Structure 1
Amino acid sequence: MIYPDTFEQKVGFDKVRELTLAHCLCELGEQRVRDAGFNTNPDIVFEWIEQTHEMKTICQMEDGFPTDGFIDVTHALRKLNVEGQWLDENELQQLRRSLDTIKQLLAFVKRVSDKYPAIAKLATGINYYPYVIERIDSILDRYGRIKDNASTKLAEIRASIRAKEASVNKLVQGIMRSAREQGVVEADTQPTVREGRVVIPVAAANKRKLKGIVHDESATGKTVFIEPVEVVELNNEIRELEYEERREIVRILIELADSIRPYLPELLTAYDFIGEIDFIRAKALLAMEFDGVKPILNSNSTVIYLRQARHPILQLSLKREGKRIVPLDIELNLNDRILLISGPNAGGKSVCLKTVGLLQYMLQCGFLPCVLENSEMGIFSKIFIDIGDEQSLENDLSTYSSHLINMKQMLRHADGQSLVLIDEFGAGTEPTAGGAIAEAILQELCNKGTFGVITTHYSNLKHFAANTPGIVNGAMLFDNERIEPLFKLEIGKPGSSFAFEIARKIGLPEKVLDVASQKVGSDYITFEKHLREISRDKRYWEKKRESIRLANKRAEEAEEKLQKELEELEKKRKEIFATAKKEAQELLANVNKQIENTIRTIKETNADKERTREARKELENLKIEIENPETTNALIERKMELIKQRQERKARKNQQKETITSKPVKEDEVKAIEPGDKVKVEGSDMVGEVISISDKSASVAIGGMITVVKVNKLKKISTGEYREAAKQKPTLITGFDVYKRRLNFKSDIDVRGYRAEEALEAVQDLIDDALMLGFNRVRILHGKGNGILKQVIRDFLKATPGVKNFSDEHVEFGGAGITVVDLDV
């Protein structure tokens, strides 16, 4: 039971219906939207909700759902129940298209039936009847016209028509040529058709010069359209053939209608299916528009547990104004069945009441309510609402009388399965009497076990709710500082009307407000004051609790991030440790080899045994130093330091690039360095003399060694500066410094993923270091890919001084993805 009859208009469901109609594809779905109504059977309601929920998922997640060809041809099909009736060409074409859509729908539902059982259930027993499609295709072409071969007689008739039309056209063309020669018609005049007959346009002054029948004239009367007498008989024969053609077409259509008449009941059932799918799809699209979801459904008890509930029509209205709706959390259960909401005017009390009524009504009509998925909703057998002014002059009803009539209906029919919605409870009459009657009605509804949402300003009802089991107070919050409502519902305490604050904001004289305060008495003022203080303190502690929660969340995130960083650092440390150990072993082998060579040289030069013993002792000391764990840790530390230096060097390079980009270097500045010039390597204290320059690189003699350096890293200095620098710090790198550099040198480089410019820069640095430290071979890992990076690197190597040759690595060690470079050391 729904009371009153205007319930849908009062809560806004009529607007929901209009929005759903806009999503329908055909009249079949639209009619179901108009017929959608309130249902109290939990099984039916839950099935409706599941269907809409599944269709929403289909619209969001699945491809291939057909949306073309939703056409209502049920009116045309019902004609065929009468013998002798037929479908015309247009109706047949629409039947053909819609049957094809049903075929596609059934195929789609079959494909996803395992995931969407509620939708699949709708397709049970539905068929699209390919025989009907085949019969239509046998007589209609792709444009919806009857085919020539629909029957033998029709083919003969149309052949005769075409032959006679050709004769008419040939005869008319001859008449036209003669008329042009005689000056009866203009030279550019062409035959036309009037009333299905071929005619010749002739000036009104010459109409007597052309024998024939006048069929029409122009709007101005200056031109008449004459059918030449020579073609009248042929046109008559064509007209008779056209009549005969139409009779044959009707015979064919009647025969088709007779052949598909036995399938009418099944066809109409199939169109019920397409209408139901259209209706469910429209509801699903509406749910997507307003974030409607399937809540937790409870069939055992009437319960309302709404989380983030929103009134869809209000949400749409606010969205148009660029505002956001404030969602509501509302709960009605067996312990707190009635929610009594109080608070300021225009604070959202009525919206809260309408939201509960609309969402419950939407649910029991099969629409997804606008709530969060963890909301819980049950089924009510009756819903009552009393909102607005039902004053009627015709029925001699005052505002309060209309409210009392509504109360009478509620008290008469409400029970434990009912939901009552009452706005401004007790208003409309003298406050003392109205409040007392309202309290008595509230007591009776509570005794009946009725569920409800009621709004009021009466203090006696707030006190009654606070002391009566089954009723709970609720307050619409108000901002005391800005004197404006917050539209938030807080359950558990009554709300203040804030009448004096609102009146003061509007601008009523303070003198009037003081008199009013004295009249209501100190008890009312104290009560309202305490309510405001409680509300203020509650909001303060809620903000504190929220800030603590956010702080804890940030701390947890920071701790988690720190833990991940520590794990990553430990992982890198282990990797560097393993790499450094491997390189140290390789270096040790190289050092052993080098020292053995030194000893052999000493022997060959007849050096004394003491010198040989000292060389071997140095070898042992070096070996012990490298194998010492402390030395290994030092190697790791140096490796970490090298990584840090490399990052800083890369940052400096990027900064230099930006500087170069912002301030281009003049050509004469680049060309200033020539062979024989004294230069200094930027970023170091090394000085030397330029031997030769090629492209962007230069061969520089630094001490007793020649190395290749990029031109943009060289700075020209005077001879005096060169001598001074050479005196202060020897440029030749000798002794154990070489071993330290060699220890940290890595002869392999990985440039995969680099841009060409970055890769060439890295290769140049590798070759410079290798030449300086005496390594005769390096390996460049560039990958295979399209071979572009490999070609760029090899073109660069061809022009790089110090490169002896290069080739692919052995196939077992990487093949064409690695270039091995031999250096001229």
Structure 2
Amino acid sequence: MIYPNNFEQKTGFDQIRKMVHEKCLSTLGQHYAAKMRFSASYDTVKTMLDQTEEFRQILMTGENFPASNYYDPFAVFDRIKLEGTFAEADELGEIRSSLVTISDILSFLQSRKSEDKLKYPVLQNLGGHIYIEPSVLKELNRVIDEQNQVRSNASATLSEIRRNKIQLESQAGKRINSILHQAKKEGWVASDAELAFRNSRQVLPVPAAYKRKIRGFVHDQSSTGQTVYIEPEEIFEINNELRQLELDERREIVKILRELADVIRPFLPQLREAYFFLGKMDFIRSKAKIALQMDAQKPRIDNKTQINWIKAKHPLLWLSYKQQKKYVEPLSLELKDQNRIIVISGPNAGGKSVCMKTAGLVQYMIQCGMLVPMEDYSEAGIFKKIFIDIGDEQSLENDLSTYSSHLANMQHFIKNVDEHTLFLIDEFGAGTEPRLGGAIAESILEELADQKAFGIVTTHYANLKILAGKREGIINGSMLFDTQNMRPLYRLKTGNPGSSFAFEIAKTMGLPLELLQKAEKIAGEEHIDFDRQLQDLELKKLELDEKEKQLKSGDAFLSEMIEKYEKLNGDLNQQKSHIITEAKREAKKILAESNRMIEKTIREIREASADKEKTKQLRAGLEEYAHLQEPDETGAPLESKSRKKEKNKKKPQPDEPRIIPGPLAMGDHVRIIGQQSIGEIIELGDKDAMVAYGSIMMKSPLKKLEKLSKASSNTRQSVKVKYDFDINEKASEFSPHLDIRGNRADAALTKARRFVDDAILLGVRQLKIVHGTGDGILREALRDYLRTLSEVKRARDDHPDRGGAGSTLIELR
């Protein structure tokens, strides 16, 4: 059910229908465009959307879909359904061409496959039952030629008649040309005179003064009477014979066309189905072309009442702005079981009504089988009823005022809404005394909520905003407003009511300050405070949203760090197992060597017959071997340690670095005075230099650096960084948001340096520094510092809603 009867005019769907009508190639498709209706059947809506989407894919891929000879033959079919009737040759020629088009469409859909599956199964299913009797096309081709005329060989009689006709026409033509030539020679006709036709016969244009010079039949004269048109007597009989042949030809053609109609007549039901299919394809093609024009897509369709649209645009507004190369703010809207009704408030001309009309038009288009401009992962539901109350319905004939017409609509809403209804109400409660109108609107809204209906309501009334904040199933929404530039943003934000910004807009428009102050007193401090609280609430909401984004970013970073930690822990455990295995293997080796040494000593003692001196030497050797197997403080056997010392003795010791005087240049090896770590200059400024110490880069003043000889490059020490903090703890405590307002420039830059350094260390790429506007000193100092950092990819002002020039967004490489 759709209410009211002029729903399409109110939402603008009548213009969409007109566009579909104009895109159709034939009256067949236009007939379907005129009959296009809202459907509450899930299966029907899904099928219609799938059909349009498949045709959109055909158009996007540029495939050669048959798009000519879309002919409407239903008037001809109605005429030849009776025995003895016939269709003209040109009509039959159009039918033949369009039947070829239908056959080509069926072949196209059947032949398009992907991995042995039909590429366009829904469209193919639409024509799956279509059958064109081959004998019909065969007979049409036999009788009708390429110029849509009856062929001469359609019958032996017609062939004979046309042959005789050609001979007589040739004979008559030669004779009348001879008479014309003779008349010119005698001066009876003008020298430039040409043959003319009157009553389907060739005649001579003869001046009235000479009309008796040529014997014949006068067919006509000019308007002045000075020229008469004479058929010469000599060709009169020939022309009579030609006229008779023409009558015979027409009689034979009618006979042939009747016979052809007799062939077609039994197959009229099948042919009607085929042309219904052709008209539907024309209609679907038109919808698909409009979808491409407005960048429309098919959302996900569920068999339930819901709206979960992502970046939806008002189709007509989008097309208009697209031609003007203007931007349209998309609408993201979600209405589900928990939050079925949204009360939208905000400034005048802020987009509230456009938002509501977008919802009404887009939902109606979806349920008419049309694609809509939104993201394809949006979710759309099916509503059985859509009610709308927009605009002024006052009527002098029915004695209805504006408010009375609104109440009449509300009466219809209350009686007919249910859980499958979507209602749209613009400026709810307006048109009467505000306090009373607001009370009535509140009670109606509660009743609609009790009926579990879905809806969108726009209002300025505070009591409706308060109701939405506490009543289950109803939520607030606001149209955002740029308070710095005092202009609407046309963006819907759900969760909080919006301020009307009446005084702010009036001030911007130039109303006197004294007048506005007086208006504030009239309105009362309580009302003004409430409106300002709404504004403050919106600003706080934006700040909370920003902090939530930061927390999510920090949470994601922390998760990444935990993952890295777990991986590192796993690697350490694996290394630990490997070390223990190697230690056991080494212990077994030492034990075996010890046993061998002991056995050797015992054997030699026995062989020495317990000689004391020999026994003493063997015991000393055994003690020395045991001492070498004892581990040192590092856990390595002394034997291994002694071997390492011997190896180290063999290695040449590097030369000591040598300090050389002179100015510093790119690529020089330097170190900080009093330090041992040697680095290389990779960037050189007037006062500072960027020095690379292995993978660590540090900016140092030139006066604190000393230049080293190139020969000392071999002595460069690898830089090991030892963290004196828990990086996991630092990651969990780090915030990508820094506030330096109230600080002096030097203290603020110190904080900023630490902040950026920590971000680089932790791998954070998006930062925000709040410095305020003021005189712009902090902002300029911060920007100058950021320009010196190669790690900074970009630094820019924040969005006007979130601080504008008072905040700097930093993007790291």
| TM-score relative to the length of structure 1 | 0.65
* 1:192-341 correspondence runs (5 A): 192-299=196-303, 301-341=304-344
3-state SS of the aligned residue for 1:440? helix
Q: CA deviation at 1:236?
A: 1.0
3-state SS of the aligned residue for 1:347? coil
Is residue 429 of structure 2 the alignment partner of residue 426 of structure 1? yes
* CA displacement, residues 768-802 of structure 1 (integer Å, 9 cap, x when unaligned): xxxxxxxxxxxxxxxxxxxxxxxxxxxxxxxxxxx
* CA displacement, residues 318-351 of structure 1 (integer Å, 9 cap, x when unaligned): 2343311110110001000000000011110001
Residue in 2 aligned with 1:769?
none
* 1:351-500 correspondence runs (5 A): 351-500=354-503
Q: CA deviation at 1:186?
A: 3.3
Is residue 50 of structure 2 the alignment partner of residue 53 of structure 1? no
Q: CA deviation at 1:509?
A: 2.0
Q: CA deviation at 1:552?
A: 14
User: Whole-Å Cα distance in 2 between the matches of residues 143 and 213 of structure 1?
Assistant: 35
One-letter identity of the residue aligned with 2:137: I
| Mapped contact 1:343–1:477 kept (Cα < 8 A) | yes
User: Whole-Å Cα distance in 1 between the matches of residues 555 and 252 of structure 2?
Assistant: 86
| TM-score relative to the length of structure 2 | 0.66
Structure 2 unaligned regions, length at least 5: 557-651, 653-813
Q: CA deviation at 1:543?
A: 7.1
Residue in 2 aligned with 1:181?
185
Q: Which moved more, 1:537-546 or 1:429-438?
A: 537-546
User: Whole-Å Cα distance in 2 between the matches of residues 536 and 136 of structure 1?
Assistant: 76
User: Whole-Å Cα distance in 2 between the matches of residues 535 and 483 of structure 1?
Assistant: 15
User: Whole-Å Cα distance in 2 between the matches of residues 149 and 423 of structure 1?
Assistant: 71
3-state SS of the aligned residue for 1:71? coil
User: Whole-Å Cα distance in 2 between the matches of residues 427 and 253 of structure 1?
Assistant: 69
User: Whole-Å Cα distance in 2 between the matches of residues 412 and 440 of structure 1?
Assistant: 14
Q: CA deviation at 1:293?
A: 1.1
Is residue 59 of structure 2 the alignment partner of residue 86 of structure 1? no
3-state SS of the aligned residue for 2:491? strand
Q: CA deviation at 1:174?
A: 2.8
Describe the shift of the 1:181–1:550 C-alpha distance in structure 2 as closer, same or farther (beyond 3 A).
farther
CA RMSD of aligned residues (A): 2.2
* CA displacement, residues 677-699 of structure 1 (integer Å, 9 cap, x when unaligned): xxxxxxxxxxxxxxxxxxxxxxx
* CA displacement, residues 93-145 of structure 1 (integer Å, 9 cap, x when unaligned): 11011001001001001112612111111011112332212111111211111
Match of 1:154 among 150, 153, 158: 158
Q: CA deviation at 1:230?
A: 1.3
Structure 1 unaligned regions, length at least 5: 554-629, 631-825
User: Whole-Å Cα distance in 2 between the matches of residues 247 and 552 of structure 1?
Assistant: 91
Residue in 2 aligned with 1:773?
none
User: Whole-Å Cα distance in 2 between the matches of residues 280 and 176 of structure 1?
Assistant: 61
One-letter identity of the residue aligned with 1:182: E
* CA displacement, residues 422-478 of structure 1 (integer Å, 9 cap, x when unaligned): 000011111111111111011111111110000000001101110111000000011
User: Whole-Å Cα distance in 2 between the matches of residues 187 and 548 of structure 1?
Assistant: 102
* CA displacement, residues 604-653 of structure 1 (integer Å, 9 cap, x when unaligned): xxxxxxxxxxxxxxxxxxxxxxxxxx9xxxxxxxxxxxxxxxxxxxxxxx
Match of 1:504 among 499, 507, 512: 507
Match of 2:173 among 144, 152, 169: 169
Describe the shift of the 1:206–1:108 C-alpha distance in structure 2 as closer, same or farther (beyond 3 A).
same
Q: CA deviation at 1:258?
A: 0.6
Match of 1:125 among 129, 132, 135: 129
Describe the shift of the 1:220–1:320 C-alpha distance in structure 2 as closer, same or farther (beyond 3 A).
farther
* CA displacement, residues 217-264 of structure 1 (integer Å, 9 cap, x when unaligned): 334443322111111111111111111111111111011001110010
Q: CA deviation at 1:71?
A: 1.1
Residue in 1 aligned with 2:721?
none
One-letter identity of the residue aligned with 2:408: I
One-letter identity of the residue aligned with 1:13: F
User: Whole-Å Cα distance in 2 between the matches of residues 353 and 177 of structure 1?
Assistant: 82
User: Whole-Å Cα distance in 2 between the matches of residues 237 and 341 of structure 1?
Assistant: 86
3-state SS of the aligned residue for 1:427? coil
User: Whole-Å Cα distance in 1 between the matches of residues 85 and 225 of structure 2?
Assistant: 45
Q: CA deviation at 1:185?
A: 2.2
One-letter identity of the residue aligned with 1:147: R
| Mapped contact 1:414–1:448 kept (Cα < 8 A) | yes
One-letter identity of the residue aligned with 1:389: D
| Mapped contact 1:100–1:128 kept (Cα < 8 A) | no
User: Whole-Å Cα distance in 2 between the matches of residues 291 and 177 of structure 1?
Assistant: 70
Q: CA deviation at 1:199?
A: 1.2
* CA displacement, residues 162-186 of structure 1 (integer Å, 9 cap, x when unaligned): 1211221222233223323322123
Q: CA deviation at 1:506?
A: 2.0
3-state SS of the aligned residue for 2:124? helix
User: Whole-Å Cα distance in 2 between the matches of residues 73 and 155 of structure 1?
Assistant: 29
User: Whole-Å Cα distance in 2 between the matches of residues 191 and 6 of structure 1?
Assistant: 63
| Mapped contact 1:339–1:474 kept (Cα < 8 A) | yes
Q: Which moved more, 1:141-150 or 1:379-388?
A: 141-150
3-state SS of the aligned residue for 1:90? helix
Q: CA deviation at 1:533?
A: 2.4
Match of 2:517 among 497, 510, 514: 514
Describe the shift of the 1:476–1:203 C-alpha distance in structure 2 as closer, same or farther (beyond 3 A).
same
One-letter identity of the residue aligned with 1:499: A
Residue in 1 aligned with 2:36?
36
* CA displacement, residues 54-78 of structure 1 (integer Å, 9 cap, x when unaligned): 1111111251211011111121112
Describe the shift of the 1:64–1:549 C-alpha distance in structure 2 as closer, same or farther (beyond 3 A).
farther
User: Whole-Å Cα distance in 1 between the matches of residues 495 and 221 of structure 2?
Assistant: 87
One-letter identity of the residue aligned with 1:57: Q
* CA displacement, residues 183-226 of structure 1 (integer Å, 9 cap, x when unaligned): 21234434332221121122222112111112223344433221
| Mapped contact 1:494–1:531 kept (Cα < 8 A) | yes
- Give the share of equivalent positions with the same residue, in percent: 46
Q: CA deviation at 1:285?
A: 1.0
Residue in 1 aligned with 2:141?
137
Is residue 76 of structure 2 the alignment partner of residue 72 of structure 1? no
3-state SS of the aligned residue for 1:22? helix
User: Whole-Å Cα distance in 2 between the matches of residues 320 and 541 of structure 1?
Assistant: 38
Q: CA deviation at 1:315?
A: 1.1
Describe the shift of the 1:549–1:322 C-alpha distance in structure 2 as closer, same or farther (beyond 3 A).
farther
One-letter identity of the residue aligned with 1:23: K
User: Whole-Å Cα distance in 1 between the matches of residues 506 and 111 of structure 2?
Assistant: 65
User: Whole-Å Cα distance in 1 between the matches of residues 547 and 236 of structure 2?
Assistant: 100
* 1:660-739 correspondence runs (5 A): none
* CA displacement, residues 651-692 of structure 1 (integer Å, 9 cap, x when unaligned): xxxxxxxxxxxxxxxxxxxxxxxxxxxxxxxxxxxxxxxxxx
Describe the shift of the 1:552–1:213 C-alpha distance in structure 2 as closer, same or farther (beyond 3 A).
farther
Q: CA deviation at 1:485?
A: 0.8
One-letter identity of the residue aligned with 2:462: S
| Mapped contact 1:457–1:497 kept (Cα < 8 A) | yes
Count of aligned positions: 554
User: Whole-Å Cα distance in 2 between the matches of residues 51 and 182 of structure 1?
Assistant: 76
Residue in 1 aligned with 2:583?
none
User: Whole-Å Cα distance in 2 between the matches of residues 462 and 71 of structure 1?
Assistant: 57
